[in-house]
Amino acid sequence: MSQATFGDDELFGEAANEMREDVESSLSDGWDALPAADDVWETDADNVLGVLNGLNSALDVGDAEDHLRDAKKWFTMGERADAFDDADDLEAEISDLEDAIADIASASEQVSELTSTIPSLRGTLEEAGTDDEAADADDETDDEE
């Protein structure tokens, strides 16, 4: 069958289906690239800093942003070409993936801030504890006299 026997409408419909499949595939790959819930929830760390470092590593979205970009690119192309009969489901899933990536990025920023703050806080508390111990030792010496 030669290419000339295909009608424009048939070719457009086929292209629209392929575009939708590309969007759906990119969205699926985007979801798959996000961290697993257990990776974010469970830890093997012995201290808070280890937990935070592990969590920060787990909050990597990997290639999810690239897959989202591909999905949005093909979705936009399909929308402008009026290729989709009903694209509300695709638009909603794009929005959901975008929100998930933003939530993970926000959590990662918060964890990074804590990761840099905790060692300084520990040092401050250790110094305060040393001062308290010295004051307690002085009080005990005064009591003995």
Residue 109, pLDDT above cutoff 60: yes
Does residue 141 surpass a pLDDT of 50? yes
Contact 57, 115 (CB under 8 A): no
Is the residue at 21 inside a domain? yes
- Quote the pTM value: 0.78
Q: What is the residue whose two structure tokens read 């942003």?
A: 65
Each residue of 66-99: pLDDT tens digit?
999 999 999 999 999 888 888 999 999 999 999 9
Mean of the per-residue pLDDT values of the chain: 88
Residue 107 in any domain: the answer is yes
The yes-or-no verdict on residue 56 having pLDDT over 90 is yes
Question: Is residue 27 predicted with pLDDT exceeding 80?
Answer: yes
103 in any annotated domain: yes
Task: Look at residues 117, 120, 73 and name the one whose alpha carbon lies nearest to residue 94.
Answer: 73
Amino acid present at 42: E
Other Cβ atoms closer than 10 A to 68:
22
**Is residue 2 situated within a structural domain?**
no
The token pair at 52 is: 């935070």
Domain count within the chain: 1
- Domain annotation covers residue 1: no
In a domain, 99, yes or no: yes
pLDDT in tens, 111-135: 999 999 999 999 999 999 876 665 5
Model confidence at 4, pLDDT cuts 50, 70, 90, reads low
In a domain, 49, yes or no: yes
Determine the Cα angle at 77 with ends 13 and 90, to 5°.
Answer: 80
Domain that holds residue 53: 7-140
Separation between Cα atoms, residue 73 and residue 90, nearest integer Å: 12
In terms of C-beta density within 10 A (0-12 exposed, 13-18 middle, 19 or more buried), how is residue 48 classed? middle
Residue 102 included in any domain: yes
Q: How confident is the model at residue 13 (pLDDT cuts 50, 70, 90)?
A: confident
